């Protein structure tokens, strides 16, 4: 279906009218919709799997591990906690509000939400966010990526069969359709994608002062630091797995590595072996290895490999017809070279050597750049690692591990600065799609004239003394 400005306006208007009926305010009603979404994912997992294979070349295991399974886990976490999260909070009003003694904080939905999802995890980053929106009591207009067309068709079918259009709908189309959506007045916008497009989203949202959540990859990419005391084989094994996952097209993936020069050669040998063990000698011919989303991304990989050809120590080649490009390690790279100053979002992996004694200087350089979405350190020095991870600015990360921080229940997934704003997953997603509304319950008796005029003379002095007492 070709969407027009008038058609999108009609959808938003119908959703707003439905929201104002108050039906979504009932938590039990939301729970039923979450269960319906969960069952729809289970019933249609073969369709979703096939779509992921068509768009990104994901094998059935990777499709379930990274896209389909996590949606079910996310919904289960919400179902487990939503009644508790949505319960109004009771607060003592305080002496300053006497004779009122009780104030209630209601967790209110924003209303009509716009979810703009990306191509790299088109199922998880659409339905996972939708689950958060539902948990908060909102309706949802979902604009999926035009790059992952098969997944968009599958999502349209899944959502279309599960929910009426006045509650949740998937809209397809290119940037022009996205702009038509952004021109509408939404109550909440949740965008996942690049910092460049996020600026455009924020500008559009500012027209209506719409609350926005942004989940971005980070302007200058995510760093992985490997100290000389790290378990090199373990680090290499985990990094290779992560870089192979979705062919590096992951917002929290390792963009570049900084490795202590004392162990650089040994680490690189382990990394080569880890890649070979996991994906074979010719990754681009392995059907389990995901493919790049477009020819343009393939061209970027080819261009960077050619530009750094004399420093490519692994990979540097691919198969254009299948859009598979081998994991490509470039070494050595200077910390100020252009390739480590922006997000790559592909299987290219630059490696920067540094003297281990200058690890803190490397962290200072990273801190001076835009905040990454993720950070990873491999070391046996837990005191140093914990100091670094508790003082740097980034979204989330791991010590001696990669990526699985985002799988921990009860903790937020988020970025900061150029890697985003807002947070979600579980209760954090519920919070992101609700706003707290404080309501004080007043009384009609025992109301003292403390706040009323006069404020001068003897009466004013008495009131001042009482105010200072009540403020304690």
Give Cα 119 to chain centroid, integer Å: 13
Residues composing the chain: 472
Which residues face 377 on adjacent strands?
225, 399
- Exposure string over 263-288, b if 16+ CB within 10 A, otherwise e: bbeebbebbbebbeebbeeebbeeee
Nearest by Cα to 395 from 409, 374, 376, 411 = 374
What ranges make up the beta strands (E) of 265-373? 312-314, 318-319, 324-325, 328-330, 348-354
Using CB atoms within 10 A of its CB, is residue 78 exposed (0-12), middle (13-18) or buried (19+)? buried
Cα distance between residue 466 and residue 471, in whole Å: 9
* Residue 403: active-site member: no
- Tell me which of 181, 251, 346, 403 is the catalytic residue: 251
Contact 197, 175 (CB under 8 A): no
Other beta carbons less than 10 A from residue 47's beta carbon: 16
Q: What is the DSSP letter of 294?
A: S
- Tell me which of 77, 184, 215, 343 is the catalytic residue: 215
Using CB atoms within 10 A of its CB, is residue 368 exposed (0-12), middle (13-18) or buried (19+)? exposed
Contact 193, 415 (CB under 8 A): no
Contact 71, 49 (CB under 8 A): no
Nearest by Cα to 152 from 195, 116, 189 = 116
Nearest by Cα to 431 from 412, 417, 418, 416 = 412
Contact 361, 335 (CB under 8 A): no
Q: Who's near 109: CB < 8 A, 6+ residues apart?
A: 19, 24, 25, 136, 137, 138, 433, 434
Instruction: Please report, for residues 20, 85, 404, the alpha-carbon distance to residue 374 in angstroms, rounded to integers and kept in the order given.
Output: 39, 27, 11
* Residue 346: active-site member: no
Active site residues: 215, 251
């Amino acid at each position: 279906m070709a969407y027009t400005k008038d058609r999108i306006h009609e959808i938003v208007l119908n959703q707003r009218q439905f929201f104002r009926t108050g039906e979504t305010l009932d938590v039990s009603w939301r729970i039923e919709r979450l269960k319906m979404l969960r069952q729809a994912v289970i019933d249609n997992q073969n369709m979703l799997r096939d779509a992921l294979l068509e768009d990104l070349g994901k094998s059935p295991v990777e499709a379930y591990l990274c896209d389909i399974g996590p949606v079910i886990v996310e919904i289960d976490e919400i179902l487990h906690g939503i009644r508790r999260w949505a319960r109004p909070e009771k607060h003592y009003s305080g002496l300053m509000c006497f004779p009122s003694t009780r104030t209630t904080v209601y967790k209110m939905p924003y209303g009509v939400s716009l979810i703009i999802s990306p191509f790299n995890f088109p199922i998880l980053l659409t339905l996972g966010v939708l689950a958060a929106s539902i948990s908060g009591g909102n309706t949802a207009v979902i604009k999926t990526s035009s790059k992952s067309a098969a997944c968009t068709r599958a999502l349209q079918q899944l959502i279309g069969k599960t929910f009426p259009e006045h509650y949740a709908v998937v809209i397809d189309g290119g940037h022009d359709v996205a702009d038509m959506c952004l021109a509408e007045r939404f109550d909440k916008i949740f965008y996942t994608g690049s910092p460049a497009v996020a600026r455009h989203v924020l500008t559009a949202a500012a027209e209506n002062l719409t609350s926005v959540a942004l989940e971005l990859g980070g302007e200058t990419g995510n760093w992985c630091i490997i100290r000389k005391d790290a378990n090199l084989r373990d680090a290499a094994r985990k990094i290779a797995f992560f870089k192979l996952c979705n062919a590096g097209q992951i917002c929290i993936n390792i963009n570049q590595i900084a490795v202590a020069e004392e162990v650089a050669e040994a680490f690189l040998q382990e990394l080569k072996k880890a890649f070979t063990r996991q994906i074979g000698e010719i990754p681009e011919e392995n059907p389990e290895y995901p493919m790049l989303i477009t020819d343009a991304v393939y061209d970027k990989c080819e261009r960077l490999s050619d530009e750094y050809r004399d420093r490519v120590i692994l990979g540097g080649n691919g198969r254009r017809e299948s859009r598979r490009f081998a994991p490509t390690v470039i070494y050595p790279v200077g910390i100020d070279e252009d390739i480590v100053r922006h997000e790559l979002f592909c299987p290219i992996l630059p490696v920067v050597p540094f003297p281990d004694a200058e690890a803190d200087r490397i962290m200072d350089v990273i801190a001076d750049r835009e905040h990454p979405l993720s950070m990873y350190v491999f070391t046996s020095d837990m005191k140093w690692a914990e100091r670094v991870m508790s003082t740097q600015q980034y979204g989330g990360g791991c010590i001696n591990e990669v990526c699985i921080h985002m799988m921990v229940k009860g903790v937020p997934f988020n970025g900061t600065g150029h890697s985003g704003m807002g947070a979600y997953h579980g209760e954090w997603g519920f919070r992101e799609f609700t706003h707290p509304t404080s309501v004080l319950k007043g009384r009609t008796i025992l109301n003292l004239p403390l706040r009323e005029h006069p404020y001068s003379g003897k009466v004013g002095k008495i009131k001042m003394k009482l105010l200072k007492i009540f403020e304690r």
